[in-house]
A and B are shown apart, each in its own frame.
Chain A
C-alpha cells in the first residue's frame, strides 16, 4: 500500500462548551493545515493549545464546528499517550484484534511484534510488561494494520527519558521501512525535530501556527545531531 493519504484541513473551528458552567473555550478557529502524502508532520505546542483536539478531529473522534476536513477514509494506526491495550488478552491477541478488524491476516501479528522486539512476549498478558514494552505493543499494533495514516498523540511522554529515546529510534526505523502519512503531536521539540519532515508550532487560543520548519536532515537521524539541536532551539524560541 502506498502512502497516498493527504490530510487537508480548511478553516476548521472547534469550541468546547463546559456542560456545567456553560463556559466556552475556542480551541481552534479558521485553522488550516495540509499534510502531503508520505509526510510526517509534527505539531508542537504547550499543553492546552489544541494539539490533541486537532489529532482527534483528524481521527474522527471529534467533530469540528466549522470548516472542512478532507482525509478520505484512511485506515488508521494510532499510538496514544497511554498504550490502551486490553489487559485481559495476550499481547498477540491485542494486535490480532486490530488486524482482524482491518481485514488482514492475523498471522502478521507475530512479525509486527518481532519488529518492535517483543517476539518473546507474544503470549504474555500486557500486565506483566513494563511501561515501555506496553507502548511498544501499541506501536506494533499501529503499524501492523498497514495504516494509510499514522497518528501519534504524545506517544512517548508518559515514559522515562531513557525508554522514550529508545522508542523514538524504533519509530524512526519503522518509519524508514514503511513510510506513511503521519501526524505527531508532542510537546517535546527535540522529538519533533528528530522524527518529522516538517514541524509546526502552535501557540495561543484559539491556536494558530506561529512557526513552521522543514527538516531536511537525512534519516536515520541522531538526537545528538548539531543541525537538529539548532532546530530544536528555534522551536523552543517560537513556543
Chain B
C-alpha cells in the first residue's frame, strides 16, 4: 500500500507549466554545451589513448553516416521497434486489467502481488535467456521477453494509480449504471492517465534493454544482432554508432511521442483558469 492520496481530478501534478520560461533560442543551449563537451572530451581521450579500441569522433561519425545512408539502420531499427511494440502492447493490455483489478479487489491484490514482486526482481537478462531457450527464433521470443520484463513495473504503477482514482466518481458511475466499457474508457483510463504514462516510460525503457539482449543471443536481425556483429568484428566505432543512433531514436520516441500524447491527454487540466 502506498501513501499516494492525490486526487487526480483536483490536483494536477507538477507538470503543469507554470515556471517562467527562458527565451526559446536559449533553452537548448545547456544541452548543446553538454554534447559539445562530450564530443570534445571523447576526441581528446581517443587521441591520448591512441588505440583501435577507442575510435575518434570522426571514425564514429563516418560509421554513423554509413549505416544511415546504406539503409541498414532504418531496416534493423524497424525490426526491433516492431518487436518492442508488440511486446509492450501485450504487457500494457494485461497490466491495465490486472493493475485495476489489484486496486479494486483485496483478493486480486494479494493474488498478484507475489507475481509482481518476483517479476520486478528478475533481471531482464534472465528473461532474454529463457525466452531464447524456449522460443528460439520465432517472433514470440522477443515479444514474450519484452512483455515479461516490462509488465511487472507497469502493473505496479497502474495499481498504485488506482489508489488515486476518486471513489466518489465510481459511485456516480454505479448509480448511473455506466457500462463496463464506458467505465473503462471514460473513467478509469483518463483518471489513470498520469500513471499510465509513467508506466509506459518505465516499461518501454525496460523493453529496449531486454530486446537488445534477446537479439544478441538469439536473433538474426535487429539492432542487437548488428551490435553483436560489430562486437564480433571488434569494430568499436560501429558498436558506438549503433548504440548512439538507437539511443537517439528511443529518446525521440519517449520525449517526442509520449510527451505529446501526455499533453493531449492532459488538455483539460489547462482549462483550469478561474
Which A residues are within 8 Å of any B CB, using their own CB?
59-61, 76, 78, 80, 82, 84, 86-89, 97-98, 100-102, 124-125, 127-130, 141, 145, 151
Contacts and interface: CB of A to CB of B under 8 A. Distances in A.
Nearest to A141: B176
A127 B168 contact: no
A145 B179 CA distance: 15
B271 A125 contact: yes
B274 A102 contact: no
**Is chain A's binding surface mostly helix, strand, loop or mixed?**
loop
B177 A101 contact: yes
A103 to B, nearest CB: 10
B172 to A, nearest CB: 4
B263 interface: no
Contacts of A61: 171, 174-175
B14 interface: no
Given A87-B9, A97-B182, A76 B168 contact: no
Given A76-B175, A80-B172, A87-B268, 17 more contacts: A60-B175, A61-B171, A76-B176, A84-B169, A86-B190, A87-B9, A88-B190, A97-B176, A97-B178, A100-B182, A127-B268, A127-B271, A127-B272, A128-B273, A129-B274, A145-B176, A151-B175
Given A86-B187, A86-B190, A89-B186, A98 B176 contact: yes
Counting chain B residues whose Cβ lies within 8 A of the other chain, the interface size class is 20 to 34
B194 to A, nearest CB: 12
B13 to A, nearest CB: 14
B269 interface: yes
B274 A101 contact: no
Interface of B: 9, 168-169, 171-172, 174-179, 182, 186-187, 190-191, 193, 265, 268-269, 271-274
Given A86-B187, A102-B177, A78 B172 contact: yes
A76 B172 CA distance: 10
B168 A82 contact: yes
Contacts of B269: 127
Contacts of B172: 78, 80, 84
B82 to A, nearest CB: 32
Please list the 4 inter-chain residue pairs (A to B) with the smallest Cβ-Cβ separation, ordered nearest first: A125-B271, A84-B172, A88-B190, A88-B268
26 contacts: A59-B175, A60-B175, A61-B171, A76-B175, A78-B172, A78-B176, A80-B171, A80-B172, A86-B186, A86-B190, A87-B268, A88-B190, A88-B193, A89-B186, A97-B182, A97-B186, A98-B176, A101-B177, A101-B179, A102-B176, A102-B177, A124-B271, A127-B268, A128-B273, A145-B176, A151-B175
Nearest to B10: A87
Most buried by A among B9, B179, B190, B269: B9
Contacts of A128: 271-274
A101 B9 contact: no
Contacts of A102: 176-177
Contacts of B169: 84, 86
A78 B171 CA distance: 10
Contacts of B273: 128
B213 to A, nearest CB: 39
Contacts of B265: 88
A42 B179 CA distance: 31
A145 B178 CA distance: 12
Contacts of B179: 101
A61 B193 CA distance: 27
Contacts of A86: 169, 186-187, 190
Most buried by B among A82, A129, A141: A82
A180 to B, nearest CB: 15
A124 B273 CA distance: 12
Contacts of B193: 88
Contacts of B175: 59-61, 76, 78, 151
B177 to A, nearest CB: 5
Contacts of A127: 268-269, 271-272
B193 to A, nearest CB: 8
